[in-house]
Each structure stands twice: as C-alpha cells, then as structure tokens.
Amino acid sequence: MSEKTWRIGVAGLGTVGGGLLEFLAEQADFAPVGDRAVITAVSARSRSRARKTDISTLAWFDDPVALAASAEIDVFVELIGGSDGPAKAAVEAALKAGKPVVTANKALIAEHGAELAALAESVGVPLLFEAAVMGGTPAVKMLREAMVGDEVTALAGILNGTCNFILSEMEAKGRGFRDVLTDAQALGYAEADPTMDVGGFDAAHKISILAALAFGCAPNYAAAEVEGIEGVEALDIALAKDLGYRIRLIASTEKTDDGVAVRVHPSLVAFGHPLAETRGATNALFIEGRRIGRIFIQGPGAGAGPTAAAVAADIADVMTAASRPVFQAPAGKLKPFVAVAPTRRVGKAYLRLMVKDQAGVIAAVSETLAECGVSIDSFLQKPVEDAAGVPIVLTTHAVAESVLTDAIDRLERLEVVLERPRLLRIARI
C-alpha cells in the first residue's frame, strides 16, 4: 500500500499552534498509520512575528478562512481561539469545503458544537477537539469512545489549571487572591485578562462539552451555573482547612430524573480525596458510570507540549479514517438538553458568618437554621485577629439549594450577623 502524505493547514501559531509546529518538526516521521502528516500551510495574525519554528517554506495565508477552504490542504487545524469571529468562520469554511477539522477551541465547541456537528456530519467529515478539554489528558476520547458501553451518571473535576494554581498557592502561602493572581500572571500561569479562567467560564466551556459527550445531548453552555474564584478569601481557605477540607474550583455535571445540571463552583473537597490532592496547574476528572463505577484521570491541562500531542492524536484519527459522531450520537439524534434549575440542587454546604462578639449569637444562628430546616453537621468558632467581627463556620447535611438560600437570607437579617453569610458547596464526588 502506498504511503499518503496528508497536507495539514494550521491557523493560529501561538502556544498550541507553535507547539504543534515544533512537534511535527521534531518528529518528522510522525506516521501513526503509515501515512505522513506534514504541515504545508499556515495562518496567523502577524506574518513577521518571530516563531520558534521556521515557517518560511510553508504557504502563508493572511486570512484563515481562505486557508480553511484552500485546495492546498487536506486537514484544517484551528488554533486561533474564541467562540465566534475568525475561528468559527474558518471552521465552517473548512467543513463546507469537505475538509476534516481538528480544533483545541473549547469556547467554539461549547457554544456552537451542535450546529458544527450537524454541518460536519452532513458532509461526512470528522470534527475533533481532544485538546479542548484537559489539554494532553484524553478526557474527550475517554467519554466519546471508551465509555459508550456504560451509562455515565456524573462527572466532577478540576478543569482549569490557572484556578487550581491560584487556590493551591493561596493555601500554601496563606495569601489573598489578588496577590497570588499577580504572581500567577508574572509566572505565565494566568493571562493578562484572567476573566475567562478565574471567572469560571473556561471550566464551564469544558464541562459543557464533557456533559454533552457523557449524556448524549447537545452542549448547552448557556445553561451552566458559573461561579469563579474571585470571591474566595484566605480566611475561608484557612477555616476549611481546620474542618478537614481544601477549596478547589470544581466543574461538575450530573444526570438526574429532572435533567442535566452543569455547574462550576469553588467547592470544599475533603483532605485525601484525589481532587483535594490535585495541586498546581494539574487537571483531574472523576467519571462515574453505572456499570464501571468510578474512573479517575489526572494530568496536564494546558501547555504547548501536552496540547500539541492531543492535536496530533486527533490528526492521527483523521488519517485512520476513524468515524464516530462528533458527540455521543449523530447530531440529529442528540437528546434535548433539559437543564435542572439551580434551586433544585441538593447537597452539603459550608457557611461562614461574621458575627458580633457577644453572648447568644450561636443560639440565634442555630435557631434560624433549624426553623428553615437546615441541619448542621459541624460547627467551628475561631477568633481571627484583625477580622471585622468573629467568624463562625458550619457545614450542613444535604439540603436543597432553595432552602439554603432562604436560610442565608434570614441569617443575613439577624442583628448579630455583620454581612451576608458566605456559601461554598461541598463537592459530592
């Protein structure tokens, strides 16, 4: 059988695109099925910008859409980023021209995955996005391929390395969020505009994609409940530690009789739990299946090397002509995404109250919680120097979110409570 050379067009030569160029330059014999993959054409914003790999011999396209539709390539790799704009236009152009597409773009897949899947399947070409979630750790393949024999019931994980780095540093050094964020930016762990990461939106894109793969529905990013880590205080990290927990940004999804819930919240995870022990920029994911039980994967979620390896694995799938639907089922057969209302969540919670230093406070708080039907699991009062008021912190047994919100409203109105109580969820998995 004669060897074929697949001509790869790459749009976006930044961290991931640059990594892919380096990977294929170092490993010129990358031929997973005998055929070779060779980058022949590229596009980026600036042609003159210095790149780690020589691109002078490659065809250059100012416009990624023109590259995507070009007859000079067999596979289009989109590594620009962004849910709309040039990335979306180029992916659509490639699919319309009948070209397989590989992308690392979680925002694009989370927000437009269903329509792009329909387009890809209508022309019979793959649309692959392994690098979009957990970088080099193969979560997408795990759900799309390895788990199809089981019924996934829940997922929970750490999907944003920047947030995990910041929370780990806050805990290790006892420092505040803003200080640690500044350091993380200087070290290259956080972007100049960190909103997508610290606001929880990046993790929400990723868990929306995983929910679709796990439950056979279309991704529905708009239905995700998203809370970032900006409001996590060093005081909560210290108090949670005293109770035997670490705070992590947990992205989770579960299928219940009411529908699918997709959530991102800073959450308490007990010491010793693999998610609590996942530190620094590492990513981790629990997959819960009805027959298989629990699977845990952990690894790098970003960076040029790991992400380029995931993109290369997708290119290899294109070359093997592996054909699976883009999500768990063909686009036309994906189940409607029925979102569970946030108020229907039932789970354990952590509440931190700043109260006046006077007698009767604990009785007032306990009575209010009892009246609302919130049952206390543990209670801790700890004097903290320089704090406005005295913090008391408690964890609850499982309680409906609507009941908890009502209790927080009532606690806030107590004369002895100085500010709105701080709520953090306790991770279920």
Active site residues: 206
> Please, is 111 exposed, middle or buried when counting C-beta atoms within 10 Å of its C-beta (0-12, 13-18, 19+)?
buried
Output 160 or 395, the one with its CB closest to ligand NAP.
Answer: 160
Output 107 or 229, the one with its CB closest to ligand NAP.
Answer: 107
Which segment (2-10, 77-85, 273-281, 323-331) binds ligand NAP by CB under 6 A?
77-85
Site for ligand NAP in 295-324 (CB under 6 A): 302-303, 307
Number of residues located near ligand NAP, criterion CB under 6 A? 26
Rule CB under 6 A: is residue 216 a binding residue for ligand NAP?
A: no
Which segment (101-109, 121-129, 232-240, 387-395) binds ligand NAP by CB under 6 A?
101-109
Q: How many CB atoms lie within 10 A of CB 57?
A: 6
Which segment (29-37, 112-120, 129-137, 342-350) binds ligand NAP by CB under 6 A?
129-137
Rule CB under 6 A: is residue 131 a binding residue for ligand NAP?
A: yes
**Cα–Cα distance list, 336 to 136, 141, 145, 213, 298 (Å):** 30, 22, 21, 13, 30
Which segment (24-32, 42-50, 289-297, 366-374) binds ligand NAP by CB under 6 A?
42-50
Dihedrals phi, psi of 386, to nearest 5 degrees: 65, 5
Rule CB under 6 A: is residue 8 a binding residue for ligand NAP?
A: no
- SS3 for 212-260 is HHHHCECCCHHHCEECCCCCCCHHHHHHHHHCCEEEEEEEEEEEECCEE
CB of 66 to ligand NAP, least distance (A): 10
Sign (positive or negative) of CA dihedral 331, 336, 340, 346: negative
Report residue 34 as tokens: 């005998």
CB of 230 to ligand NAP, least distance (A): 20
State how far the Cα of 203 lies from the Cα of 295, in Å rounded to an integer: 20
Rule CB under 6 A: is residue 80 a binding residue for ligand NAP?
A: yes
CB of 165 to ligand NAP, least distance (A): 13
CB of 425 to ligand NAP, least distance (A): 26
Rule CB under 6 A: is residue 43 a binding residue for ligand NAP?
A: yes
State how far the Cα of 162 lies from the Cα of 280, in Å rounded to an integer: 8
Rule CB under 6 A: is residue 407 a binding residue for ligand NAP?
A: no
Rule CB under 6 A: is residue 113 a binding residue for ligand NAP?
A: no
Q: How many CB atoms lie within 10 A of CB 385?
A: 4
Which segment (10-18, 327-335, 349-357, 363-371) binds ligand NAP by CB under 6 A?
10-18
State how far the Cα of 308 lies from the Cα of 293, in Å rounded to an integer: 31
Rule CB under 6 A: is residue 104 a binding residue for ligand NAP?
A: yes
Q: Can you spell out the DSSP letters for 157-168?
A: EE--HHHHHHHH
Q: How many CB atoms lie within 10 A of CB 424?
A: 23
Rule CB under 6 A: is residue 15 a binding residue for ligand NAP?
A: yes
Binding region for ligand NAP (CB under 6 A) = 11-17, 43-46, 49, 64, 79-81, 86, 104-106, 131-132, 135, 302-303, 307
